[in-house]
Amino acid sequence: MKVTCPEKRVLQDRCTTSSHVYAESLAFLSAKVGTVSKQEYERLHSIMLHFRKQLEMARIELEKHKTEHGCGDDPKAMAATNAN
């Protein structure tokens, strides 16, 4: 039986959470287009970019860990990494 690397699980969870948060902020932003002021839109847009950055960082950390630790053969990891 294969043991899943606990650190990888943590990083995967972070990727999953980050991608959900980013998707929600993107959906929220899309829903607000044309209904809010330019300033408000830019504020929401910068928040969305912040979440996207967090997602990118989480993915980079996961990839880095898998490369360094040699634990990157989990299909769930691939799904989390490739989800966009």
List residues binding Zn ion (CB under 5 A): 5, 8, 69, 71
Q: Which residue of the chain is nearest Zn ion when measured via CB?
A: 5
Shortest Å distance, C-beta 74 to Zn ion:
10
| Nearest alpha-carbon partner for 9 in 66, 57, 52 | 66
The Cα 67–Cα 71 span in angstroms is 7
Which C-beta is closer to Zn ion: that of 10 or that of 33? Answer: 10
Residue 37 or 73 having the CB closest to Zn ion: 73
Inter-residue contact 40 to 84 (CB < 8 Å)? no
Minimum CB–partner distance for residue 68 and Zn ion (Å): 8
CB 65 within 8 A of CB 12: no
Q: State which residue, 53 or 69, has the beta carbon closest to Zn ion.
A: 69
Work out how close the CB of 81 gets to Zn ion at its nearest, in angstroms, rounded to a whole number: 14
Cα angle 82, 83, 84 (rounded to 5 degrees) comes to: 110
